[in-house]
Structure 1
Amino acid sequence: MGVKNSDDGWTAYKRRDFLQKAGSALTVTSFGATGITAAESEGKNPKDEDYFTLGVASGDPLPTSVVLWTRLAPEPLQAGGGMPDHIVPVQWQIATDENLEHTVQVGTELADPEFAHAVHIEVDGLEPNTEYYYQFRVGFQTSPIGRTKTAPTTGASFDSFKFAFASCQAWYHGYYTAYEYMAKDDLDLVIHLGDYIYEYAIDENGEERNTEVPEVFQSETNTLEEYRLRYALFKTDPHLQAAHSNAPWIVTWDDHEVDNNYADEISEGDDPASKFLTRRANAYQAFYEHLPIRPSRMPDGPDMTLYHQLSFGDLIDINLLDTRQYRSDQVCGDGWVEDCDERFDTSRTMLGTEQEQWLVDNMTSSDATWNVLAQQIFFSQRESNKMNSMDAWDGYVPARDQLIDVMSQDEVTNPIVITGDVHANYQADIKTDFDNPDAEIVGTEFIGTSITSGKDGSEMTDFGRRVINQNGHISYYNNQRGYVRCEVTQDQWQTDYRVVPYVTQPESSVRTDASFVVDAGAPGAIRK
């Protein structure tokens, strides 16, 4: 429901239709200017309630559609977010100007306690490649205003695209200063590559945040309510909220949204599958509830189809991958090991048969100038003292070789892999044989550091020196925190590694530590 092509803001809202929709639920709580609200029944002034403590977000931009998100949580670190156990109507508005004077649609969505009073609004009928602004309202309270942008029409001529990617944001390891600077960039998109939360127990003093945390955070997450509270804690950070409200996001998960190094139905602690799948279902629901994901991707118990492709004109196709839900278990342990023959087993998979075929079909049929794999874990070979990480693609060599074979085909233009997970910045050339210095380069991988995980870090480490010395295809390493910014044209891809010198205290500066370019038709990165 909504009013299109209206320019008088909230007054264009059709109250009769709103009452009909709200009245369709037997347990709707009214938060309008009239009537008794839950806040009033508890002796609170509803004008003083802030239902938008977790901010606003948008995501999954298509040429004529985008998802708008918020969650009502006046007490975000309490069970239930401080909301009543009732459905609550949330009004929304989207306009072409930041003052919301030129409204194109308004409507109402019902925030259901079954989904933590989160709303996911699929706004359709928008113009391609157009900037929009949006806001939510509950009674007297309005949310912050968010900015979003639709994608250009698939296949249409499109000359430039600017996006950032990030991963690994352990709240207790420091401040999200990198997001403060990301929010100031004029971005078309943000890609989050996993570890949005961490499931570990948090010290009662919040570690580097030096903020006392309630007892529920001092043990590892398992239940739905515990995962909800963990997302709420992380999302209270104002810089994360600012980055969400500045541009549309697409998101995938890695392991810590559920359990460290899990693989399909197998947990780190080797719990019975039925027990772990219950935990995974809790984690997947909380993930969906707190991020701007389309309702069509809502999880079904412990299953959620997260991988999908987004196209931006004829310039760039982005394949967002899921390297956790379908993979074979790690072999020889899940850490760094030497001489593990099982990692060459051709029966093992990283993506699962269906996702792998989907990706191959996408890459070989794409007409875009740049083909992107947005995924979680180190793709290129990364040896250190003849040891490899079994949780990365090094532990799934035939699966990686198959994708590299696809990248080498003439019909796959300019493959780029973007990666998170490892809490450090790298640049790697993707080769048909990583052990042969003369082997063909078929693509480029840009690996981004963490937002906070690993705390302050340093520019170089002994491990980084070994990796650079022992892997000729890896040309760059930095162990500080930050994010990665990419500017893409039809002729060239530029990647800027944006780093902050510290995160254990707020208000750090930021700098571009290194920049690389890839020329269209010439795989491999050149440092500027």
Structure 2
Amino acid sequence: MDNFNRRRFLALSGLSAFGAWMGTASLAARADASALNPRNLLASPRFASSPFTLGVASGDPSPDGMVLWTRLATEPLVFGGGITPRPIPVQWQLAADDGFRRVLRQGSALAHPELGHALHVELQGLEPGRPYWYRFTVGGHESAVGRTCTLPAATAQVDRVRFAVAGCQHFEEGHFTGWRCIAEEPLDFVFHYGDYIYEGESQPGVRRMNGQPFTNLRNHVGPQIYTLDDYRRRYAQYKSDADLQAAHAAAPWFVTFDDHEVDNNWAGAEDQDGTPSEVFLLRRAQAFQAYYENMPLRRSAFPVSGHMQLYRRARYGNLMDLHLLDTRQYRSKQVDMAAREQVESPARSIVGAQQERWLFDGLADAAPRWHTIAHQVSLGNYAREKDGQVVSSDDQWSGYLDSRRRLLGHIQTLGFNNVVAACGDAHRHYASDLVQDNADSGVISSEFLATSISSGADGQGVDAMARTTLQHSPHLKATTDKRGYVLCDVTRDAWVGDMKTLDQVMQPDGKLESWKRYAVAHGRPGLQEA
């Protein structure tokens, strides 16, 4: 295929999945359905059972609003969700109290079959820094009640924010107990760093996990997922989990994807299997649509031409700026870590030039007391022993050393000493200081990497991999492969990461504990035990 035709095919491959909505994205996301009256409207729907089997959620809060989400499905694991494939009006309410004695806003939104009957009600004009409660009704059925909140005004004097960092929830490998624990925490928001679903087909029988025989706790429905219907059903299976639903209903979420929402270790327009880019982009486009349908995202993230705008920023008063990154969509393909010229090449990036400029500009803002980089994979340059050799990951910032050096160099040059990174992906907790790999830079920043909710099953604690990683990573303070999340408690004087762990996830109701806590003092980079 010549270059012109290939470029045109790449463009059209994205359009094929999304062209029907490119001119109507704002209409599809509109909160008020009163102005929309499609000819095929199912005006008076009736359901034999509740269509709210996938729960409710809110997300992307701002000082004056947020997104309210639900998706209709009476039979979640059936293609189409058991819902008539016609637009359906759904009523929503926002109240000042959980008993809905004081309803502040209400309206109707259309659940479109083209969007899997998902709803994204985007509200604005609300009061800053306060809680709200919401619910949906349709066809005589009422959803669960969700609690959400707006962010403080951008210039408000704020003394504290508490949020959880979590992700990597493999359905087959454990109960989602961590989400139940998060639902019970008094939080301002949740940051989900990615791997909301896993794309693979369940393997029957016994396999190896953590060096031990392992049998799936529960199995995926269907084969490896490739089509929009496949992805929709996989999200429905995960979202049917009561613990996950509880966490969504308890607080607003900021979400971003990593790799398994599409395919393991994908990078830009390429997968790990050598699939032609123009073919992989067809799959990626369908995965992006399913992700949008199932997440409480604003219309700014609506997929267009096979692309999603996911990197964005949120300001929590004058206390903290949250910089949410996308380290998948713009990254260069991974390379062999033995090829040091390529690993260190300035031509390769994990975030792309435009996103990097956006991040650098945001970090240069002196207004917030703290900056938090909320991303997917470790910025820490961790090394461990494997087959007698010392290795580091090609899929993390360690595989994109020029990107890593530029970011840490920028943070150091700014000199604010107020940047902390929060991420996940590795299925184990890491608490680490961040230094340049090729200079005696001193501590520039610190990172809390949250372990998985369930991926990796129960884990072994401080195992052999943890010990060799600690041995070869001098700025790593602590690591364990138990499941859990990081509870972040940020005040004006300190940024504290509390690494929560569960003793088990293969059995329900695992015991939660605070494994280790580290603090970063404002203006003094470096982790200290708290």
C-alpha distance in structure 1 between counterparts of 2:521 and 2:279, whole Å: 49
Q: Deviations over 1:57-105 (max 9, x none)?
A: 0000100011000000010100011000100001000011011111110
Match of 1:27 among 12, 36, 40: 40
The CA deviation string for residues 281-328 of structure 1, in whole angstroms up to 9 with x for no partner, is 000000000000001210113211100000000000000000000011
C-alpha distance in structure 1 between counterparts of 2:220 and 2:434, whole Å: 44
Aligned-CA RMSD value: 1.8
CA distance in 1, matches of 2:157, 2:251: 22
- CA shift, 1:156, in A, is 1.7
Which residue number in structure 1 is paired with residue 411 of structure 2? 407
- 3-state SS of the aligned residue for 2:197? coil
1:291 paired residue number: 295
What SS does the corresponding residue of 2:179 show, helix, strand or coil? Answer: helix
Is the Cα contact below 8 Å between 1:204 and 1:213 reproduced in 2?
A: no
Change (3 A) 1:259 1:145: same
Taking the TM superposition and a 5 Å limit, the aligned residue runs for 1:52-71 are 52-71=52-71
Counterpart position of 1:490? 492
CA deviation after TM superposition for structure 1 residue 506, in Å:
1.2
Q: What is the aligned length?
A: 489
Give the CA deviation at 1:497.
0.7
Are residue 515 (structure 1) and residue 517 (structure 2) matched? yes
Offset at 1:409? Answer: 2.5
Which residue of structure 2 lines up, in the alignment, with residue 473 of structure 1? Answer: 475
Alignment of 1:218-229 (within 5 A): 219-229=223-233
Instruction: Give the AA of the match of 1:508.
Output: G
In structure 1, give the amino acid aligned to 2:286: N
> For residues 18 and 473 of structure 1, what CA distance do their matches in structure 2 show?
52
Aligned: 1:155 with 2:155:
yes
CA 1:433–1:269: 2 relative to 1, 3 Å: closer
How far the C-alpha of 1:434 sits from its partner, in A, is 6.7
Gaps of 5+ in 2: 1-30, 207-213
Q: Which runs of 5+ in 1 are unaligned?
A: 1-16, 32-36, 40-45
DSSP-derived class of the 2:384 partner: coil
1:74-473 paired onto structure 2 within 5 Å:
74-203=74-203, 210-211=217-218, 214=221, 217=222, 219-332=223-336, 337-338=337-338, 340-385=340-385, 386-410=390-414, 412-433=416-437, 436=440, 439-473=441-475
Q: Contact (CA 8 Å) 1:158, 1:315: kept in 2 or not? A: yes
Please state whether the residue corresponding to 1:441 is helix, strand or coil. Answer: coil
Question: In the alignment, which residue of structure 2 is the partner of 1:8?
Answer: none
Q: Aligned AA for 1:481?
A: R
Do the aligned partners of 2:311 and 2:323 also contact (CA within 8 Å) in 1?
yes
1:433 is displaced (CA, Å) by 4.1
Which amino acid counterpart does residue 527 of structure 2 have in structure 1? A
Deviations 1:194-236 (A, max 9, x none): 100111112468986655654xx2x211000000011111111
Which residue of the partner structure matches residue 18 of structure 2? Answer: none
Structure 1 letter corresponding to 2:42: T
Contact 1:368 1:413 in 2 (8 A): no
Between 1:48-57 and 1:222-231, the stretch displaced more is: 48-57
8 Å CA contact 2:256, 2:324 repeated in 1: yes
Assess, with a 3 A threshold, how the Cα gap between structure 1 residues 433 and 155 changes in structure 2: closer, same or farther: farther
| Partner SS for 1:394 | helix
Measure the CA separation in 1 of the matches of 2:433 and 2:32: 55
| 8 A contact 2:118–2:294 mirrored in 1 | yes
Going from structure 1 to structure 2, the CA distance change for 1:249 and 1:225 (only over 3 Å counts) comes to: same
Asked if structure 1 preserves the Cα contact closer than 8 Å seen for 2:172 and 2:219, the reply is: no
The residue type paired with residue 158 of structure 1 is: V
Once the two structures are superposed, residues 411-454 of structure 1 have per-residue CA deviations (whole angstroms, 9 ceiling, x without a partner) of: 54410011100000011101134775xx4111110011000111
Structure 1 pair 208/366, CA: closer, same or farther in 2 (3 Å)? farther
Shift, 1:491, TM fit = 0.8
Shift of 1:18: 8.5
> Quick one: distance in 1 between partners of 2:345 and 2:203?
41
Query: Given residue 100 of structure 1, which amino acid in structure 2 is its aligned partner?
Result: F
Q: Does the CA contact (< 8 Å) of 2:172 and 2:220 recur in 1? A: no
Identity of aligned residues (%): 38
Moved more, 173-182 or 338-347: 338-347
Residue identity matched to 2:494: Q
* Partner SS state of residue 457, structure 1: coil
Change (3 A) 1:20 1:470: closer
What do the CA deviations read for 1:111-147 (whole angstroms, capped 9, x no partner)?
0000000000111110000100000000210100000
Query: Could you tell me the TM-score, scaled by structure 1's length?
Result: 0.90
Query: In the alignment, which residue of structure 2 is the partner of 1:11?
Result: none
Q: Deviations over 1:463-497 (max 9, x none)?
A: 11011111110010111001110111111111111
The residue number in structure 1 matching 2:22 is none
Contact 1:309 1:318 in 2 (8 A): yes
* CA distance in 1 between partners of 2:506 and 2:83 (Å): 33
Amino acid of the structure 2 residue aligned with 1:137: T
The one-letter code sitting in structure 2 at the alignment partner of 1:372 is: T
* Preserved contact between residue 429 and residue 481 of structure 2 (Cα < 8 Å): yes
Moved over 2 A (4+): 17-22, 203-214, 337-341, 409-413, 432-436
CA distance in structure 1 between the aligned counterparts of 2:220 and 2:284, rounded to whole angstroms: 24
Whole-Å Cα distance in 2 between the matches of residues 189 and 464 of structure 1?
30
Match of 2:19 in 1: none
3-state SS, counterpart of residue 481 of structure 2:
strand
C-alpha distance in 2, partners of 1:366/1:147? 32
Residue 155 of structure 1, CA deviation:
2.4
